[in-house]
Amino acid sequence: MKRKETTAKRTFSLQTKKALIAYSFLLIPVLFYLAIRIIPAFQAFLMSFTTSSSSAFTMDNYHKLINDEVFWKSVKNTILYVIIIVPLQMLFGLILALAIERMGGKLKWFYRIVFFLPYMTSIVAISWVWRLLYDPNSGILNEILVKLHLPTQEWLGSPSTALISISVVIIWQMMGFCMLLFTAGLQVIPRQYYEAADIDGASKWQTFWHITFPMLNPTIVFLAIIGVIQTLQTFTQIANLTGGSSGGGLGGPLNSTMSVVVYMYNEGFRQYNLHYAAASTVFLFILILIVTLIQFRTFNKSYKL
């Protein structure tokens, strides 16, 4: 009896040691995450209810935010970015994945790398290459339009085309990432479903709509949520395509490309209104939270084949 108790104590001691080692390894990343994400976010939340001249609780920053036309312009632009970019980058990614999957031979890996390369390349480098392409005087896009006897465009210099021009860059860069995830999703669909569809005489569209598309639902949900969150935080492309002395001004021209994050950057790090910028940060957090919850409710459903 005494021997059993001693063995149990040793076992418990060993399990306790294993648990302590595991928690000690987890403690370092948790502390790091708390230090660089949670605590600064909490401080920003508190800052949004104060001003630079007083630490007393106030709603002045939010009142100013609600009445700021430039802020609502940035909100409108951000929503437009989401509406344009997320569906199109997923659509082009799916088309590429389906086209490459249908290809025979050994060149599939080559096309996957070619289309995935933009995603792996620096966003800053890509933005500056596209900035040169969009140049109204020496850019290759306007040279093509001239050869086709079409009117040249200002691209990033015109409020009517600047937002679309930036969206094209982001879609071009992100569709390779979508293609890769859709390819992974296509490869795990059981072949028996397609064989059964062939036997039943289903057309290619019926096979896609009733088998491929429902089976890709987890991939679609993931890409939609990640795409929306990334697009709501779009900054680097806008900064590099419109910033600088030769651009239309950060978020320009006439605030036509300004997103909420760019607005926040302008207020916080160029105008030094840190407390006011913190209020826009809280707004962006609430916006991302609401959109993500709506997406989970809308897309995350099961399909019956």
The pLDDT assigned to 17 comes to: 82
Domain total in the chain: 1
SS3 245: coil
Give dist(CA 131, CA 126) in Å, integer: 8
Q: What is the pLDDT of residue 262?
A: 93
Give CA–CA dist 98/93, Å, rounded.
Answer: 9
Please state, as a whole number, how many other Cβ atoms lie within 10 Å of the Cβ of residue 13: 10
Q: Is 109 a member of any domain?
A: yes
For residue 305, tell me if it sits in a domain. Answer: no
Kindly state whether residue 195 falls inside one of the protein's structural domains.
yes
Q: What is the pLDDT of residue 14?
A: 78
Helix ranges restricted to H, the chain: 2-33, 39-47, 60-66, 69-102, 108-120, 123-133, 140-147, 162-187, 191-199, 204-207, 213-215, 217-232, 236-242, 260-265, 274-299
pTM: 0.84
Residue 298: the pLDDT is: 75
pLDDT at site 25: 87
Q: What is the pLDDT along the chain (305 residues), one digit of tens a residue?
A: 555 555 555 556 778 888 888 888 889 889 998 998 899 989 989 999 998 888 888 899 999 999 999 999 999 999 999 999 999 999 999 999 999 988 867 788 888 899 999 999 999 999 999 999 999 888 999 999 999 999 999 899 889 999 999 999 999 999 999 999 999 999 999 999 999 999 988 899 999 999 999 999 889 989 998 999 999 989 999 999 998 755 557 888 888 999 999 999 999 988 889 999 999 999 988 988 888 888 777 766 655 55
Instruction: Decide if 7 is inside a domain.
Output: no
- 63 in any annotated domain: no
Q: Which residue has the tokens 């039943």?
A: 200
pLDDT given for residue 294 in this prediction: 85
Q: Which range of residues forms the domain containing residue 163? A: 69-300
Judge whether 84 lies within some domain. Answer: yes
Q: Evaluate whether residue 193 is within a structural domain.
A: yes
CATH number at residue 106: 1.10.3720.10
Whether 118 maps to a domain, the answer reads yes
At 1 the pLDDT is 53
Radius of gyration of the chain (CA): 26
